[in-house]
């Protein structure tokens, strides 16, 4: 495993396993247990995913020390306030059946993020969270939060894949010491990514799959990536990216695939705000 060091000195595994859209708790626990068997130690869940309980049970069932794992969960928009963050973090800890989490994120850049962040800063100082960060923040939103609070986010988890490489934003995060973590590292299988001619050609060269090539591309750029599968062979495949290295030429070919195409709405758009607000019964 390779690690990156966060701005507070905490080490974070660069290859993680996500559990988005695995709501069935029995299945989720089994999938996480398989991922642990394969070698994953970094797991990413969220309040809104509804499967924190399953992740916690899988960690317990492994019999491995809690310290071997890096566990991330996220606060949802419905609880973005000082009091809401305190209460919901306690609820997440209970569902996970843990004494602390390694990384706690504000899931979306909307609502009372300042109130939530102040609560998270306190929980961080109390040692209940080893690092705090954000998700889906654009550069101006990240700068705003950092400038007017004491603790700079350690991580910004964003949509990042070969078709949406976020070069300027990644450069800004690097300048400010914020680690870029990729959700949607495999572009959610959209845009015919697995049969993309450039990726297929590179994969054949290394006798790897297109998924492995994309995840290796993230790793060599110094990006933390999250991948998800419920299929044991795919789980193993997505982890087996440490035994080859892409050439500079192949890295450049993959970089050329960038079209700044998002899987969702731009999180800086009015429509994105309205979509997220709709999840918590708010409207404009």
- Which residues are part of the catalytic machinery? 49
- Residue 279, pLDDT score: 66
Q: Judging by DSSP bridges, how do beta strands 11-13 and 179-183 pair with one another?
A: unpaired
- Residue 280, pLDDT score: 66
- Residue 265, pLDDT score: 66
Q: Are 106 and 134 in contact (CB under 8 A)?
A: yes
Q: Judging by DSSP bridges, how do beta strands 224-227 and 15-18 pair with one another?
A: parallel
CA neighbor of 41 nearest in space, from 7, 83, 70: 70
Half-sphere exposure of 179 (CA within 13 A, CB side): 28
Phi, psi of 71 (to 5 degrees): -110, 125
Report how far residue 92's alpha carbon sits from residue 249's, in angstroms, rounded to the nearest whole number: 44
Residues 46, 165, 178: CA angle, nearest 5 degrees: 55
Ordered structural domains, the chain, with CATH: 3-279 (3.20.20.100)
Report how far residue 239's alpha carbon sits from residue 32's, in angstroms, rounded to the nearest whole number: 13
Residue 66 is classified by DSSP as: G
Helices (H), 17-81: 25-38, 52-62
Ranges in the chain, pLDDT < 70: 265, 267, 279-284
């Amino acid at each position: 495993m390779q690690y990156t060091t966060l701005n507070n000195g905490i080490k974070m595994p660069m290859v993680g396993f996500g559990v988005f859209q695995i709501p069935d708790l029995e299945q989720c626990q089994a999938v996480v247990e398989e991922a642990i068997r394969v070698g994953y130690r970094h797991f990413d869940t969220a309040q809104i995913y509804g499967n924190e309980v399953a992740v916690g049970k899988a960690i317990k069932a492994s019999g491995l020390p809690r310290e071997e794992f890096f566990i991330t969960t996220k606060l949802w928009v419905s609880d973005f306030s000082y009091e809401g963050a305190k209460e919901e973090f306690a609820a997440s800890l209970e569902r996970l059946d843990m004494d602390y989490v390694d990384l706690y994120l504000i899931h979306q850049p909307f609502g009372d993020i300042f109130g939530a962040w102040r609560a998270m800063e306190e929980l961080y100082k109390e040692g209940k969270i080893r690092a705090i960060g954000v998700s889906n923040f654009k550069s101006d939103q990240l700068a705003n939060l950092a400038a007017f609070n004491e603790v700079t986010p350690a991580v910004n988890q964003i949509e990042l894949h070969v078709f949406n490489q976020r070069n300027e934003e990644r450069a800004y995060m690097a300048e400010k010491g914020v680690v870029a973590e990729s959700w949607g590292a495999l572009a959610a299988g959209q845009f015919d990514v697995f049969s993309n001619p450039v990726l297929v050609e590179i994969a054949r060269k290394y006798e790897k799959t297109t998924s492995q090539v994309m995840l290796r591309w993230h790793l060599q750029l110094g990006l933390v990536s999250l991948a998800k599968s419920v299929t044991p062979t795919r789980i193993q495949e997505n982890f087996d990216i440490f035994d080859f290295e892409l050439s500079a030429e192949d890295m450049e070919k993959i970089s050329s695939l960038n079209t700044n195409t998002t899987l969702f709405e731009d999180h800086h758009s009015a429509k994105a705000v309205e979509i997220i607000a709709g999840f918590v019964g708010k409207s404009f």
